[in-house]
Amino acid sequence: MNSSRLRRALGLLRADREVLLFIAATAMLLVGAAFALARDEELAAGPWIAATALGLAYSTVTIAVALRHHRPSVDVIAWLALVGALLVREPLAGAIIAIMLFTGGLLEARASARAKRELGALAARAPRIARREDHDGVHEIPVTEVGVGDRLLVGAGEIVPVDGRLLESASFDESALSGEPMPVERPAGDDVRSGVVNAARPVRMVATETADRSAYAGVVRLVEQAQASTAPFVRLADRFALAFVPLTLAVSGLAWVLSGDPVRAVAVLVVATPCPLLLAAPIAIMSGLSRASRYGVIIKGGAALEQLAAGRVLLFDKTGTLTRGRPSISEIITADDTDADELLRLSASLDQTSAHVLAAAIVTAARDRGLTLSSASGAEEQPGYGLRGTVDRHVVRLGKAAWILEGPPPAWVRRARRRAALDGSLTVFAAVDGRPAGVLLLTDPLRADAPRMMRALRNAGITRTVLVTGDRADIAASVGRIVGTDAVYADRDPAEKLAIVQEEQATAPTIMVGDGINDAPALAAAGVGVALAARGATASAEAADVVLTSDRVDGLADAILIAHRSRRIARRAAGTGMALSAAAMALAAVGLLTPTLGAILQEGIDVAAIAMALTVLLPGRTHTVVLSEADLAAARRLYEQHTALGPLIEQVRAVADDLSGSRPDLERLRELLDRLELDLLPHERAEEEQLLPIIARALGGPDPTGAFSRTHAEIEHQVRRLRRGFDDIGEEPEPDELTDLRAGLYGLYAIMRLHNAQEEENAFSLL
Active centre residues (catalytic)? 317
Q: Looking at the DSSP assignment, which residues form a beta bridge with residue 151?
A: 133, 206
Q: Which of 422, 424, 418, 419 is nearest to 446 (CA)?
A: 424
Cα distance between residue 495 and residue 470, in whole Å: 11
Q: Answer yes or no: are the C-beta atoms of 102 and 55 closer than 8 Å.
A: yes
Q: Are 364 and 354 in contact (CB under 8 A)?
A: no
Inter-axis angle of helices 215-229 and 91-124, to 10 degrees? 160
Sort strands 546-548 and 528-532 into parallel, antiparallel or unpaired.
parallel
DSSP 604-645: HHHHHHHHHHGGGGS----S-----HHHHHHHHHHHHHHHHT
How many Å apart are CA 685 and CA 702, to the nearest integer? 22
Cα dist. 315→463, 465, 513 in Å? 11, 6, 6
Reduced to 3 states (helix: H, G, I; strand: E, B; else coil), residue 121 is helix
Taking Cα atoms as reference points, which of 530, 519, 510, 457 lies closest to residue 492? 519
Task: Please list, in sequence order, all residues whose beta carbon lies within 8 angstroms of the beta carbon of residue 193, skipping any fewer than 6 positions away.
Answer: 160, 163, 174, 177, 214, 215, 216, 534, 535
Element at 97 (helix H, strand E): helix 91-124
Q: What is the CA radius of gyration of the chain?
A: 33
**In the β-sheet with 297-299, what is the strand arrangement from edge to edge?**
297-299, 546-548, 528-532, 510-514, 313-316, 464-468, 487-489
* Cβ-proximal residues to 727 (8 Å cutoff; 6+ apart), any chain: none
The residues near 31 (Cβ < 8 Å, ≥ 6 apart) are: 47
C-alpha–C-alpha distance, residues 38 and 506, integer Å: 68
Rounded to the nearest 10°, the torsion over CA 195, 295, 276, 73 is: 50
Contact by Cβ (8 Å): 323, 590? no
Distance CA 130, CA 161 (A): 6
Please name the amino acid found at residue 543: A
Tell me the three state secondary structure of residue 332.
strand
CA 711, 713, 716, 720 dihedral sign is negative
- What φ, ψ does residue 616 adopt, rounded to 5°? -60, -30
CB within 8 Å of 274: residues ≥ 6 apart: 74, 77, 237, 240, 244, 578, 581
Half-sphere exposure of 254 (CA within 13 A, CB side): 11
- Closest listed residue to residue 66, CA positions, set 278, 270, 247, 289: 278
CB atoms within 10 A of CB 715: 18
Q: How many CB atoms lie within 10 A of CB 17?
A: 15
Burial class (CB in 10 A: 0-12, 13-18, 19+), 380: exposed
- Report the helix count and the strand count for the chain, using DSSP H and E: 30, 22
What's the rounded Cα separation, in Å, for the pair 762 and 220?
33
Beta strands in 226-291 (DSSP E): none
